[in-house]
Structure 1
Amino acid sequence: MDIMCFIIPALVGLIFGIFGYLLGKMSSKKDVLLAVSLQEDLDVCKSTVKNLNQKINALDVELASKTKNNPAPQSSISQFIFDKEIALNILGKKVKENDLKIVEGIGPKIEALFNEAGIATWQDLSKASTEKLQNILDAAGENFAMHNPSTWPKQALMAHQGKWQELKDWQANLLGGKE
């Protein structure tokens, strides 16, 4: 018998075995990335469902109060109820409600300045103009005046609305709160 009859099939089998192994490795990496992406999407969906359920409950309360001809004041109905667990899952760090330091570029000293100026919540910060924020920073001295608050209101709005994944993705592209 000719030795080539054994060597050629063995080499072909070895080559296809290596090729199959490499394809399997590449496929498993894609599966891991897909699983991570799906988990992030699931967390965002859970957050959205929770917010929608809270809005439904708030609307039920409002409807019930209007049915009794005693409408509830608008301030008692919240558009978003903060859930620290969802924020932790998406951002990967503990978040306190209305902690201005969650905004990229704001540290404890700037947070204290804003609190003194009456900006104590994410909603307050989201409604503040960039000019007002810059004026507060300028008045505090040159160490604060160098900061650029142009993205801070939008970041605060995302936090106020519970859009944690959107906030995380945007902050990943910011440098010290600047685009």
Structure 2
Amino acid sequence: MSLENSNIWCWIIPALVGIISGILGYLIGKGKHASVLDQGPELKKLEQENSSLIAELEACKQQQASQKTETKKDVPVASLSNTEAKPHSFNPVEAKAAFGKRVKENDLKIVEGIGPKIEGLFHNFGIKTWKDLSEVSTNKCQEVLNSGGDRYRIHDPASWPMQAKMAYMGQWAELAKWQDKHKSGKF
């Protein structure tokens, strides 16, 4: 019988060592896997924050560059003045004559660089008229663009408030001339 007992232990000991090793391996592996999964959302959040900061830095650089060149431009003085001039009532005939197409009142897409999707982003922020857009900062425009994701990063909103003010003031010929002179709304 002692031979049989020793023979059983030859099977039990390796089996127990294997089971214990398997359990420990599973627990260690699960712990490492869980920490990798936990880093995923945190890493994604940091990447988004980094993208946002890069976009903000670019917007600041663009604003600084536009402020340096703003005094050199031949933009009508009325479009840049801080005093609130009376807007002309919307005249679709004058707008059509200047742009060669029908223009709807408060259509933000008349601003060079704003399309239907970007107009929707501005509407989501409560910016629905030319007057509204003319009163926001370039930083706010960039914030609106950032809300749409990375695909809107290529847009430069530096001139959008100025263009909107020209539309709001009924300066159609000046706006069309400015847009022709400045490709894609860039200086």
Contact 2:87 2:168 in 1 (8 A): no
Identity of aligned residues (%): 51
The equivalent position to 1:86 in structure 2, one of 76, 84, 94, is 94
Cα distance 1:79–1:175, how it changes in 2: closer, same or farther (>3 A)?
Answer: closer
- What is the distance in 1 between the residues matched to 2:87 and 2:180? 27
The equivalent position to 1:167 in structure 2, one of 158, 175, 178, is 175
Contact 2:121 2:147 in 1 (8 A): no
Structure 1 gaps, min length 5: 1-77
Contact 2:111 2:160 in 1 (8 A): yes
Q: What is the TM-score when the length of structure 1 is the normalising length?
A: 0.55
Q: Deviations over 1:138-170 (max 9, x none)?
A: 121011122110000000000000001110110
- 2:50 counterpart residue number: none
- 1:132 counterpart residue number: 140
Greater relative contact order structure (CA < 8 Å, 6+ sep): 2
Contact 1:80 1:162 in 2 (8 A): yes
The equivalent position to 2:129 in structure 1, one of 121, 127, 131, is 121
- What is the distance in 2 between the residues matched to 1:117 and 1:145? 18
Contact 1:104 1:174 in 2 (8 A): no
SS in 1 for 2:185: coil
- 1:142 counterpart residue number: 150
Q: What is the TM-score when the length of structure 2 is the normalising length?
A: 0.53
- Counterpart of 1:81, as a letter, is S
Shift of 1:122: 0.3
